Amino acid sequence: MKRFLAPFLSILVFALALPAQAQLLPNAGASAPSNTLDRIVAVVNEDVILQSELDNAVRSVQQQYASQPGQLPPLNVLQQQVLDRLILMKLQLQKADDRGIHVSDTQVDQAVAQVAQQNKMTPDQLRTEVERTGQDFASFRQQLADQLTVQQLHQNVVHDSVSVTDSEIDNLLASPSYKAGEVHLAHIQISIPSGADAAAIQAAAAKAEQAEAAIKGGMDFHAAAIRYSDAPDALDGGDLGWRRMDEIPPAFADTVANMKPGDVSPALRGPTGFHILKLIGQRAPAKQIVTEYHARQILIKPSELVTPAQAQQKAQELYDQIVNKHADFAKLAKENSNDDTTANAGGDMGWFAQQAWGAAIAQQLGQLKVNEVSQPFQTDAGWDILQLVGTRQSDVTTQMERDQARQAIGNRKAEQAYEDFLRQLRANAYVRVLVPALRDSSNTPADAGSAS
């Protein structure tokens, strides 16, 4: 089922904790074997995780790596990793519920349709394929609903806590440490728990050293990430994908800038723990040349006094005056257009990128010749008549550099904000692992009876 869920995740691209968790969930709804005695393996606040949930999630990971079983860590370590991610998912869903975040059936239907489309299937064919693998389709829908819920939680958390000023953009672009271009990275993260003491920090450092030694000894980085990393993307081999250099935390940017594809960094101490980075690839920035359009419009909006049909009829009448009677477009726009931003300028929309005014106008621009007037067409705002005045090629490298810098700063702040949120969420939660063999350094012993 990974092939169904992965394309969907590539569409969502949301919470840092989500991609690895999503890899765990495809078979989570399958029923446990009838000869297995189910039991509670962990208590997560007022919720529980059952042995059957853990077994199914572990089995899902094993199926994903069926052709490369050597990539997986020993079973007990894999179970600990999977359990930790199930716990984190439970905590996020609980917090979303506390904040009143819920998704509708319509949103889930749309998600199902997206997954089906990405796999070149109809929704009915997707259902058949899901059920063919032995999974209940209702459980599959619930997994998508959970991921949409966590996406909304992520947006809710970072919305009010992340802002980017022009001064921050100026400072980034002027900084001697600013690096252009993109890099494809993978990482291994050894987290330090919130409020960790010296012993916990030393244990994390020792684990990072073990990971370093394993890689130097010939272990594939992908396999080492699965075995040693406790980042949410560990079971994806720690792959971070392509990122602009200005998106990389400043603490690591200089190290990455001096690496060549294939290089692996030493363990780097960051604010949340130790990180080992691998540079998979890099590419230089390119000059950004785009086609800009100069156009003018007449927009007729429906209203309480004008029905949609009347708006269409008026637009058609204005079109006929322009084309057949050679009426002045600008004069008619001033007298009739309902677009407040362009009417007083004779409908002049200025120079803009093709998609700037929406998909409907963009489509018309792609079909018009210079000075040609479009037939009336419908947009979200009403009925539009468009005249293409001219086109030009513009170098928008500087503006795009600023836009990318703004996005990079925002993404970096959002990542940090949500990572801090997850650490605090885990630190304040009551998490009790009841099976001794499933406890690791981040799980509370069953007899402690306190939050992990």
Digitized pLDDT (tens) for each residue of the chain, 452 residues in all: 333 333 333 333 222 233 333 333 344 444 444 445 689 999 999 999 999 989 988 988 888 888 888 888 889 889 998 999 999 999 999 999 999 999 999 999 999 999 999 889 999 999 999 888 777 899 889 989 999 999 999 999 998 788 899 999 888 888 765 667 789 999 999 988 777 888 889 999 999 999 999 999 999 999 999 989 988 888 888 999 998 887 788 778 888 888 999 999 999 998 788 999 999 998 877 677 889 999 999 999 999 999 999 999 999 999 999 999 899 999 999 999 999 999 999 999 999 999 999 999 999 999 999 999 999 999 999 999 999 999 999 887 788 788 878 888 898 899 889 989 999 999 999 999 999 988 875 544 444 444 44
Q: Do residue 9 and residue 121 come from a single domain?
A: yes
Q: Which of 107, 130, 162 is where one domain is finished?
A: 162
How many whole angstroms separate alpha carbon 185 and alpha carbon 256? 9
Distance of alpha carbon 21 from alpha carbon 230, whole angstroms: 12
Find out whether 36 and 439 touch, Cβ atoms under 8 Å.
Answer: no
Residue 451 lies in a domain: no
Query: Last residue of some domain: 253, 284, 315?
Result: 284
Are residues 65 and 146 located together in one domain of the fold?
Answer: yes
Q: Are 132 and 212 in the same domain?
A: no
Whether the CB-CB separation of 37 and 170 falls below 8 Å is answered with: no
Query: Residue 341's domain is classified under what CATH number?
Result: 3.10.50.40
Asked if 33 and 158 sit in the same domain, the reply is yes
Predicted pLDDT at 247? 77
Beta bridge partners of 182: 244, 283
Residues 312 and 327 in one domain: yes
197 and 270 assigned to the same domain: yes
Whether residue 450 lies inside any domain: the answer is no
Specify the DSSP class assigned to residue 305: S
- State whether 11 and 113 are in the same domain: yes
Q: What's the number of domains the chain is made of?
A: 3
Would you say residue 429 lies in a domain? Answer: no
**Structure-token pair, residue 341:** 């931003």
Q: Which of 263, 230, 296 is nearest to 85 (CA)?
A: 230
Domain for residue 425, yes or no? no
Kindly state whether residues 211 and 134 are assigned to the same domain: no
Instruction: Provide the token pair at 310.
Output: 């009347």
| Domain match, 156 and 8 both | yes
Give the CA distances from residue 161 to residues 119, 272, 274, 304, in Å, rounded to whole numbers and listed in that order: 36, 19, 25, 40
Q: How far apart are CA 188 and CA 253, in angstroms?
A: 16
Q: Is residue 241 part of a domain?
A: yes
User: d(Cα 242, Cα 354) in Å, to the nearest integer?
Assistant: 26
* Same domain flag for 34 and 158: yes
Please state, in angstroms and rounded to a whole number, the distance separating the CA atoms of residues 151 and 206: 34
Q: Is residue 367 part of a domain?
A: yes
- Is 24 within a domain? yes
The whole domain housing 312 covers 289-395
For residues 135 and 5, the answer to whether their CB atoms sit within 8 Å is no
Q: Are both 30 and 78 inside the same structural domain?
A: yes
In sign, the C-alpha dihedral spanning 307, 312, 316, 318 is positive
